[in-house]
Amino acid sequence: MLTRCLDLLAPALERPGAVAIDGTLGLGGHSEALLTRFPELELIAIDRDPRALELSGERLKPFGARAHLVHAVYDEIPEVLERLGVPRVHGVLFDLGVSSMQLDEADRGFAYAQDAPLDMRMDPTRGMSAAEVLNSYDKRELTRILRDYGEERFASRIADRVVRERDAEPFTRSARLVELVREAIPAPARRTGGNPAKRTFQALRIEVNGELEAVRGAIPAALEALDVGGRIAVLAYHSLEDRIVKRAFAAGATSTAPPGLPIVPEDQKPWLKLLTRGSEGADETEIAENPRAASARLRAAEVVRRPRTARVKGAR
């Protein structure tokens, strides 16, 4: 879906002096593609993971001063732009969720298929680990996280089992958690839908990294940073993220004037134009090459006029 993202952003980034934000740098593949496709583009690439910044920094060295790598969370866009002295940008790209690098590095604890320390922090230098969440949250909070963030039907059963077993021995490794989830879920439910632990791992990862709160802050911040004619493209990988993006875009693309008003005041007209009809998914060829793309949902929008700041923040 990278080509589609670049095509959607192109009308905004082909202008002279264009500046864009890659809010989720990862290993730098999207940043490299942006800088290659748009030879005059200046890019601000953000990631909370120091390891990602280290690896992508090597990858983006050939682009020299055109690439600015910043250690931050993507909802900190206003602070990042202020530090760099950049008032407005012309394009923003988000590829939300956990990166392939984080999934593939076994010692990070993101992948339920490999035994590893239960960490799951995208930035290992701050915040609580997944083990600390499991060992300190009460049953009610654990149930809420598993139900709301993992959409887990058996959240209460899993949380109850965690609380009982941690009293005997605190959780430290992912394999033990995978086995606990398998035992807590009824046998008929284990036969479909892949590994039964995937929803629990998703929920813990979202909680540990404050992912949904970051998305709720990042989308309005990005829209506020865009100049008129600027475009934003967002790839989300589960319904919780996609719903936040959908609502933020819909708020900007909807008139606030009362229905039937003969003349709509300028400040009540939509200030966003949706560039995708609903969300777009990957085609069969891409899914065959990269199975992780199967759950991707792409939405894009263009700023057609400057809204009032309160309108943008209201999308949160």
Q: How far apart are the first and last CA of the chain?
A: 26
Selection from 120, 75, 96, 79 nearest residue 213 by Cα:
75
126 vs 132: CA distance, rounded Å: 13
How far apart (Å, rounded) are the C-alpha atoms in residues 162 and 177?
Answer: 8
Determine contact, residues 13/34, Cβ cutoff 8 Å. yes
Residue 110 · residue 98 · CB < 8 Å: yes
Place of tokens 């864009």: 20
Residues 6+ apart with CB under 8 A from 165: 171, 180
E strand or H helix that includes residue 178: helix 174-184
Q: Residue 3: which H helix or E strand, with range?
A: helix 2-13
Host H or E run for residue 309? helix 309-313
Burial of residue 271 (number of CB atoms within 10 Å: 0-12, 13-18, 19+): buried
Sign of CA pseudo-dihedral 27, 31, 32, 33: positive
Q: Which residues participate in the annotated binding site for S-adenosyl-L-methionine?
A: 28-30, 47, 74, 95, 102
Our measurement of the distance from residue 172's CA atom to the centroid of its chain's CA atoms, rounded to an integer in Å, reads: 26
Residues in binding site: 28-30, 47, 74, 95, 102
Max CA pair span of the chain? 70
